[in-house]
């Protein structure tokens, strides 16, 4: 690392490789060209890859998501003007690499993700920003967040509820993590919500069941009807002051903005709406986040990768702006 010119913040946090001296299209393949975890002596936020997609119900390929998001993150710059923050300034952010997850055994994979995330948190004290991978990975990540913070308010940005019961009798899939999380008591059932829900459901019972599991659904068309500010207000009112886990399924975006995903649905958010929504969350006690379901084989011109990289960057900005102490 000493051979690469890096920005170093006043706090001592080691930042990205200096893009004015090493071109962005070269150099390390870490997220935002940040240092690797083994190159820093402290870590406040770890960017963790989980290349795993054995839980998908339709198009596979999200196992290649972490690498694609990292590649598309090369153009990120150190200052976030909309939030007036340096995401790599006071907090040390580092790339923790990828977990080695068994693609042939779903139960073992979930156990590996849980143990890997737990070990990383215990070893470093870092908050995790995880790059998936399919949405199955949210369940073990929520288990680890719950161990540290108790029941968390989940802000779930997705086209789909992901609170279905089983597929082909299987309880652990990318369409079921939030039902399992609710059953396991990981969620604050008074403060969790979905944003971006749309598309056909299996039955008229899906939404009442989802409500029983502790979620408020905010449908995609509410952004059009009520506007972004009103949706932000509803989200903030729902989350209250609970510790928040933000889970972003990139299919919350319209396929025009994120074609590279496994279960696309028409009528989704623009990337500007999604980033605007995230920017409304300034100051929340965010305790973990993920960006999942990026499947580069269906992407075009890095549209989805760029959107996901910017979402991850905005999440890092929000983590930089969270209160000092949180539960």
Which positions lie near Mn ion, rule CB under 5 A? 135, 158, 162, 249
Query: Where does the chain have alpha helices with state H?
Result: 65-72, 106-124, 138-149, 177-183, 206-212, 221-225, 228-239, 271-279, 303-320
In whole angstroms, how close is the CB of 162 to Mn ion at the nearest point?
4
Cβ closer to Mn ion: 121 or 252? 252
Distance in Å, CB of 278 to Mn ion, minimum: 17
DSSP 83-150: TTB-TTTSS-EEEEEE----TT-HHHHHHHHHHHHHHHHHHH-PEEEEEES-GGGHHHHHHHHHHHHS
State which residue, 188 or 265, has the beta carbon closest to Mn ion.
265
Residue number, 17 or 292, with CB nearest to Mn ion = 292
Q: How far apart are CA 104 and CA 125, in angstroms?
A: 31
> Residue 14 or residue 220: which is nearer to Mn ion going by CB?
220
**What's the CA gap between 242 and 326, in Å, rounded?**
9
| Least distance in angstroms from the C-beta of 174 to Mn ion | 6
CB of 58 to Mn ion, least distance (A): 11
- Tell me the β-bridge partners of 192: 215
Residue with tokens 């999942």: 292
CB of 146 to Mn ion, least distance (A): 19
Residue 241: what are its φ and ψ, rounded to 5°? Answer: -110, 20
The nearer residue to Mn ion, 33 or 174, going by C-beta atoms, is: 174
262 or 285: whose CB is closer to Mn ion? 262
Which residues are within 8 A (CB) of 224 and not within 5 positions of it... i.e. 6 or more apart?
Answer: none
Q: How far is the CB of 160 from Mn ion (least distance, A)?
A: 5
Closer to Mn ion by CB, 249 or 265: give it.
249
What number of CA atoms fall less than 13 Å from residue 206's CA on the CB side?
18
How big is the CA angle at 238 (ends 234 and 241), to the nearest 5 degrees?
Answer: 125
What is the C-alpha to C-alpha distance for residues 11 and 217, in angstroms, rounded to an integer? 40
Distance of closest approach, residue 250 Cβ to Mn ion, in angstroms? 9
């Amino acid at each position: 690392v000493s051979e690469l010119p890096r920005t170093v913040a006043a706090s001592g946090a080691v930042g990205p490789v200096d893009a004015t001296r090493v071109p962005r299209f070269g150099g390390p393949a870490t997220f935002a060209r940040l240092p690797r975890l083994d190159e820093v002596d402290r870590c406040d936020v770890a960017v963790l890859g989980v290349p795993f997609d054995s839980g998908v119900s339709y198009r596979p390929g999200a196992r290649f998501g972490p690498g694609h998001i990292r590649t598309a993150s090369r153009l990120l710059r150190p200052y976030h003007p909309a939030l007036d923050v340096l995401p790599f300034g006071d907090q040390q952010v580092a790339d923790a690499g990828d977990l080695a997850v068994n693609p042939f055994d779903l139960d073992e994979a979930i156990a590996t993700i849980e143990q890997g995330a737990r070990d990383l948190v215990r070893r470093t004290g870092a908050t995790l920003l995880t790059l998936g991978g399919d949405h199955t990975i949210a369940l073990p990540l929520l288990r680890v967040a719950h161990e540290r913070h108790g029941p968390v308010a989940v802000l779930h940005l997705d086209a789909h509820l992901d609170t279905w019961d089983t597929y082909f009798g299987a309880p652990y899939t990318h369409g079921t993590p939030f039902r399992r999380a609710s059953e396991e008591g990981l969620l604050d059932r008074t403060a969790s919500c979905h944003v971006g829900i749309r598309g056909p459901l299996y039955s008229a019972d899906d939404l009442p069941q989802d409500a029983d599991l502790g979620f408020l659904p905010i449908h995609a068309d509410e952004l059009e009807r009520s506007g972004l500010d009103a949706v932000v207000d509803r989200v903030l009112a729902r989350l209250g002051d609970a510790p928040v886990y933000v889970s972003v399924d990139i299919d919350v975006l319209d396929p025009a903005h994120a074609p590279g995903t496994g279960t696309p649905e028409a009528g989704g958010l623009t990337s500007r709406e999604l980033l605007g929504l995230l920017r409304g969350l300034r100051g929340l006690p965010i305790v973990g986040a993920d960006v999942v379901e990026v499947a580069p084989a269906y992407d075009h011109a890095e549209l989805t990768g760029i959107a996901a990289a910017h979402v991850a960057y905005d999440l890092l900005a929000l983590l930089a702006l969270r209160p000092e102490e949180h539960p």
